Amino acid sequence: MVRFLKLYEKIGIFILIILGGVFLAFATPNFFKADTIFSIITQGTYGGIVAFGMVLAITSGGFDLSVDAVVALTSVMLAVTIPGLGVPSAIIVSILISCLVGFLNGVLITKFGVNPLITTLSMATIIRGVAFLITQGRQIPISQSGFMNIGTGKLWLIPYPIIIMAVLFIIFYLLLYQTSLGRYISAVGSNEGAAFISGLNVTFIKIMVYVLVAFTASIVGIIRTSQALIGIPSMAPGFTLTVLTITILGGTSLSGGKGNLIGAVFAGIFISMIYYGLNLLGVEYFYQMLAIGLVLIFALFIDGLRIRYLEVAKVKGIKV
Amino acid sequence: MDNDRNRRLKHRAGLIWGNFGLPFIFILVLVFFAIQSPMFVSWRNLLSTFGFSSYIAIAAIGMTFIIMTGNFDISIGSMLALVAVLGSSFIPAIGGVLGVLSTIVLATLLGLVNGLFVTKLRIPAFITTLGMLFIFRALAYIYTNNFPVYIQDKFWLYIGNGKLFGVLPLPIVITAVCYIAAYLVLRRSPLGRYIVATGTNPRAAELSGINVDNVKMLAFALGGFFVGIAAVINSANMGAANPGLLGQNYEFQVITAVVLGGTLLGGGNGSLGGSLVAAMIITFLGNGMGILQVGSYWQLVATGLVMIIAVALNKLKFYLLGQGEL
């Protein structure tokens, strides 16, 4: 069992993707076209990008349930500020405001000691409410069509969202595995007390993590708003669940201290394949809800087994 | 000496806050809305709002148990919707009484499933129940194809809308009975002591021979049980079980009530009375904001703020009592 779990940890997500690919290849006539494959990967980037942030959060021993609301807030902020500020400044302003939300999350969690679940859940409600208040519940169209390029443009054949994800992946990869901040994040997640005693500024590290999560969420908000060209206060309902599913399916353990960014990329693509397949079947959206929920439970099941068996193996002194 | 006096003063402040803080806030809320609107203080509105508070208050009992044992259940809103559509759809086949019973039994089973995942697989409760939140809601949609199930059964409707002696809304009576029973279980039975022990120090509880996993699982099952009762009352109030509308934001309101009521997140001792008063505060806040025609978006912001304030107040209380840091 331990061997199986170690093997799954390494290649499980690839097997899932291959199985999904085989299924879709039979189910759809034009699956093996560049367009189809790129569109599946592009859909996968949304969850994947925010999963980078979530990987950091879970590695540090926390999590963030406010990402869907941050996506919506970014969308609304863009729609409101673009007419006055122009596209580049509007993007910077909305990213900064999202980071501020992340900062507030971090401060509430570290300085006031409020549980991350309660903090981010309350923050999600508040931010969603603010997004609705800003637009008075309406959707605001964006007239700058040049803005559309970010979400729909292509460099040669590759859509921009995929390039954005690749760039962010490199940044987060370097951050997590090559910088001291990355090691500190893992240290805080493995054993917060020990990290504190060895002189790490746990408060700063945790606040940083929540800022980064909000940052990734706001990038996804920009991409999706640019595709829709509308500021939508109700954007991305249930997105948080997708992101958490991707993160855990990608092999980031809920016990903290151990993040897996590459897994997150491929888990994002796998989830996107499921969406694509369900769309082909023409079922209604609540089947997607069900599917994501079931995949999450499956991923949790594997993670639970892993925690359990590796614990037993450690007690028995088996090397893994 | 001075330090000692300081500590005792703090302790006394903590006790006063712990015992009288919530009722004081409740009266404050009532007085505030009474000044703002005469409609609010009419007997009719007050009595019916007390009735509606059962919706949050009853589920808050189960949530108090769950939080006391160190867990959460954020799937209860979807659970409420799912068992309400299932139970009410059984009415034509098995009748109203059995329909109500089956609703409660189903909810208990769903709670037990959550408990199994959390205890046997050691998956953190928030994420298990987050997954279940989506699965239950999706199943409710799929089962009904997104059509509401209209309830015509007299017994079912009576539970939510009936009046004892022609004045007292039945939900108030049910809430009172539930709270008395829960109080007896928590303070007068071994099970209650197991729950407190598990929440305060799981390791010590396990070493003294308590099966901690079973206690936690039982707390989840009880959580489901009370959600089942609330499901019957709520769908009876609405006259229909709507898979999309029932139980929206429910987990949020109920957890807020429990936290505001003084149960410490992360486990430990809790307060059923506190949960009850807090549930009424939240319901009356909602009712008052509705009467004053506060927009629903502001209400969304307000619910989030109340939750964070509740947690902060709770921390303050335990700090004053010398049981925690600020």
Q: What contacts B223, CB < 8 A, 6 or more positions away?
A: B59, B62, B63, B65, B66, B73, B76, B111, B114
Q: So what's the pLDDT on residue B84?
A: 92
Instruction: Choose, out of A118, A128, A247, the residue to mutate when testing the contact with B (most B CBs < 10 Å).
Output: A118
Checking if the pLDDT of B315 tops 80, the result is: no
Lowest mean pLDDT among A100-109, A218-227, A295-304: A295-304
pLDDT band at A317 (very low <50, low <70, confident <90, very high): low
What is the reported pLDDT for B261? Answer: 85
Q: pLDDT: is A46 or A25 the higher one? A: A46
Higher model confidence: residue B149 or residue A32?
B149
What pLDDT score does B2 carry?
65
Cβ-based neighbours of A285, under 8 Å, separated by 6 or more: none
* Alpha carbon distance A108, A119 (integer Å): 7
Question: Is the model more confident about B68 or about B297?
Answer: B68
- Best-predicted range by mean pLDDT (A215-219, A288-292, B142-146): A215-219
Judged on CB neighbours under 10 Å (0-12, 13-18, 19+), A1 is exposed
pLDDT-based confidence at residue B93 (cuts at 50, 70, 90): confident
Question: Which residue bears the tokens 């929920």?
Answer: A293
Looking at residue A88, its pLDDT comes to 83
pLDDT greater than 80 at residue A236? no
- Domain limits, chain A: 2-28+37-313
Lowest mean pLDDT among A286-300, B56-70, B211-225: A286-300
Summary mean pLDDT of chain B = 86
Q: What is the pLDDT of residue A108?
A: 87
Question: Given a cut of 70, is residue A106 above it in pLDDT?
Answer: yes
3-state DSSP helix/strand/coil % of chain B, to nearest 5? 75, 0, 20
Q: What would the two tokens of residue B217 be?
A: 């699982």
How would residue B312 be classed by pLDDT, with cut points 50, 70 and 90? Answer: confident
Q: What is the distance in angstroms between the CA of the first residue and the CA of the last residue of chain B?
A: 23
Cβ-Cβ contacts under 8 Å for B324 (sequence gap 6 or more): B315, B318
pLDDT bracket for residue B232 (50, 70, 90): very high
Taking only Cα atoms into account, the Rg of chain A, rounded to an integer number of angstroms, comes to: 20
Burial of A88 (0-12, 13-18, 19+ CB in 10 A): exposed
Contact A244 B304 (CB under 8 A): no
The answer to whether A248 and A296 have CB atoms below 8 angstroms apart is yes
- Which residue of B131, B139, B249 is in closest CB contact with A297? B131
**How much is the pLDDT for B184?**
92
**pLDDT band at residue A318 using 50, 70 and 90 as cut-offs:** low
Quickly count: other Cβ atoms within 10 Å of residue A22's Cβ: 11
Which residues, other chains included, contact B242 with Cβ-Cβ below 8 Å and sequence gap of 6+? B81, B85, B148, B149
pLDDT above 60 for A320: no
Which among A137, A296, A305 has the least Cβ separation from residue B131? A296
Going along chain B from its start, the domains and CATH numbers come out as: 2-320 (1.10.3470)
Task: For A245-279, give one letter per residue: b (16+ CB within 10 A) or e.
Answer: bbbbbbbbbbbbbbbbbebbbbbbbbbbbbbbbbe
pLDDT tens digits, B7-51: 777 777 777 777 777 888 888 888 888 888 888 878 888 888 888
Among B126, B142, B301, the residue with its CB nearest the CB of A126 is B301
Given an 8 Å threshold on Cβ–Cβ distance, is A122 in contact with B130? no
Record the pTM: 0.84
Among candidates A121, A130, A241 on the partner chain, residue whose Cβ is nearest the Cβ of B301: A130
Distance from CA of B159 to the nearest CA of A (A): 31
Q: How remote is the C-alpha of B124 from its chain's centroid?
A: 20
User: Three-state DSSP class for A158?
Assistant: strand
Dihedral in degrees, nearest 10, Cα atoms A255, A256, A257, A258: 80
A213 close to A104: Cβ distance less than 8 angstroms: no
- Give pLDDT, residue A95: 92
**Using beta carbons and an 8 Å cutoff, which residues of A are at the interface with B?**
63, 65, 108, 112-115, 117-119, 121-126, 128-130, 132-133, 137, 238, 241, 244-245, 248, 254, 284, 286-287, 289-290, 292-294, 296-297, 300-301, 303-305, 307-308
Q: Chain B residues with CB inside 8 Å of A125's CB?
A: 249, 252, 300-301, 303-304, 307
pLDDT value of position B41: 79
Instruction: Out of A120-129, B1-10, B169-178, B208-217, pick the least confident.
Output: B1-10
Do residue B304 and residue A118 have CB atoms under 8 angstroms apart?
no
The better pLDDT of the pair A22, B280 is held by B280
Between residues B39 and B227, the one the model is more confident about: B227
Asked whether the beta carbons of residue A132 and residue B308 sit closer than 8 angstroms, the reply is: no
CB-based contacts of B94-100 (< 8 A; 24+ apart in sequence): B95/B153, B96/B153, B96/B154, B96/B155, B96/B156, B97/B155, B99/B153, B99/B156, B100/B155, B100/B156, B100/B159, B100/B232
Question: Has residue B103 got a pLDDT over 60?
Answer: yes
- Residue contact A286–B297, C-beta within 8 A: no
Q: Are A124 and B304 a contacting pair at CB < 8 A? A: yes
Q: In the structure, what pLDDT confidence band is assigned to residue B324 with cuts at 50, 70 and 90?
A: low
Q: How confident is the model at residue A43 (pLDDT cuts 50, 70, 90)?
A: confident
DSSP state letters, B233-262: HHHHHHTEE-TTTTTTTHHHHHHHHHHHTT
Residue B241 has pLDDT above 90, yes or no: no
| Contact status of B90 with chain A (Cβ, < 8 Å) | no
The residue of A70, A73, A117 whose CB has the most chain B CBs within 10 angstroms, and thus the best one to mutate to test that interface, is A117
Region B146-163: mean pLDDT is 85
Check CB contact under 8 Å for B311 and A300. Answer: no
H/E run at residue B149: strand B149-150
> Is the Cβ pair A132, B325 closer than 8 Å?
no
What pLDDT, on a 0 to 100 scale, did the predictor assign at position B1? Answer: 53
- pLDDT tens digits for range B210-225: 888 899 999 999 999 9
Architecture label for domain A2-28+37-313: Orthogonal Bundle (1.10)
pLDDT at residue B77, rounded to an integer:
92
Please give the Cα distance from B213 to A308 (Å, whole number). 15
Q: Is the predicted pLDDT of residue B326 greater than 60, yes or no?
A: no
Q: Would you say residue A26 has pLDDT above 60?
A: yes
The Cα of B140 is separated from the nearest Cα of chain A by a number of Å equal to 9
Question: Among all residues of chain A, which has the CA nearest to that of B72?
Answer: A117
Locate A210 and state its tokens.
């929540």
Closest among A198, A195, A114, A106 to B324, alpha carbons compared: A114
